[in-house]
């Protein structure tokens, strides 16, 4: 909703910002190699993580996927970091033809990682978390939920199973924890609290 509203605004209009809230992606000092997986707008926070990890001399594989070439975010910025960038587009207009999961599977099958980080459409996140769980690779997932108060009081962003508040205990959680939540990859709640099925096509 924020992104849609943002793109309708005109130069000179004012924006109010709150946050950041909750948890964030983290690395450890002994990490040597990590895999970052971003779908669509999910590339944004991972781009910042890549910059920080680069300062720690961590080797980075970055899978960046979108529907078309004009929807690929931060391509030039990521290239300048001199990391292993894997571009995937659904229509083949840039990089590999397919989804970001295709390049993700190739990376996971060929390499060993200290940790995997994923941000994007939740169905995609769930598939990555399942693959990492199968391979025994630690995985951090960003679960997007509608946040109202941002202080852990209203309960709007709570996950149904655990009651975990995504503005406090999330939005970044470990993959094995995310997989224990029945709503993860299946549904979320709208700003009114109504259950809405997770859209496969983002």
In this predicted structure, the answer to whether residue 123 has a pLDDT above a threshold of 70 is: yes
Q: Is residue 163 part of a domain?
A: no
Q: Is residue 161 part of a domain?
A: no
Place of tokens 């890549």: 50
Q: Cα dihedral sign for 102, 108, 110, 115?
A: positive
Beta strands in the chain (DSSP E): 33-39, 59-66, 84-89, 96-97, 115-119, 139-142, 172-174, 187-189, 195-197
Q: Is residue 23 part of a domain?
A: no
Q: Is residue 50 part of a domain?
A: yes
Which CATH number does the domain housing residue 94 bear?
Answer: 3.40.50.80
Q: Is residue 105 part of a domain?
A: yes
Q: How many domains does the chain have?
A: 1
- List the domain range (segments joined by +) for residue 71: 31-144+170-181
pLDDT at position 200 is 53
Q: Is residue 13 part of a domain?
A: no
Percent of the chain residues topping a pLDDT of 90 = 82
| pLDDT tens per residue, range 44-99 | 999 999 999 999 999 999 999 999 999 999 999 999 999 999 999 999 999 999 99
Parallel/antiparallel/unpaired status of strands 172-174 and 84-89: unpaired
Q: Which residue has the higher pLDDT, 202 or 192?
A: 192
Q: Is residue 87 part of a domain?
A: yes
pLDDT at position 1 is 64
Q: What is the pTM of this model?
A: 0.90
Place of tokens 């587009």: 89
Q: Is residue 90 part of a domain?
A: yes
């Amino acid at each position: 909703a924020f992104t849609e509203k943002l793109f309708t605004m005109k130069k000179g209009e004012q924006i109010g910002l709150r946050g950041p809230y909750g948890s964030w992606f983290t690395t450890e000092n002994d990490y040597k190699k990590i895999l970052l997986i971003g779908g669509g707008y999910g590339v944004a926070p991972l781009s910042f993580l890549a910059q920080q990890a680069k300062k720690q001399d961590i080797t980075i594989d970055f899978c960046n996927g979108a529907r078309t070439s004009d929807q690929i975010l931060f391509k030039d910025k990521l290239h300048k970091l001199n990391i292993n960038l894997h571009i995937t587009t659904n229509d083949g207009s840039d990089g590999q033809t397919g989804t970001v999961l295709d390049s993700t599977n190739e990376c996971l099958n060929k390499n060993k990682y200290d940790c995997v980080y994923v941000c994007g459409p939740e169905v995609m996140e769930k598939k990555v978390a399942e693959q990492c769980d199968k391979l025994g690779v630690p995985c951090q997932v960003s679960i997007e939920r509608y946040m109202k108060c941002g202080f852990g009081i209203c309960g709007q962003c709570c996950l149904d199973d655990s009651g975990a508040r995504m503005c406090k205990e999330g939005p970044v959680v470990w993959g094995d924890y995310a997989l224990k939540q029945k709503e993860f990859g299946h549904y979320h709640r709208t700003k009114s609290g109504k259950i809405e099925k997770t859209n496969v096509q983002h």
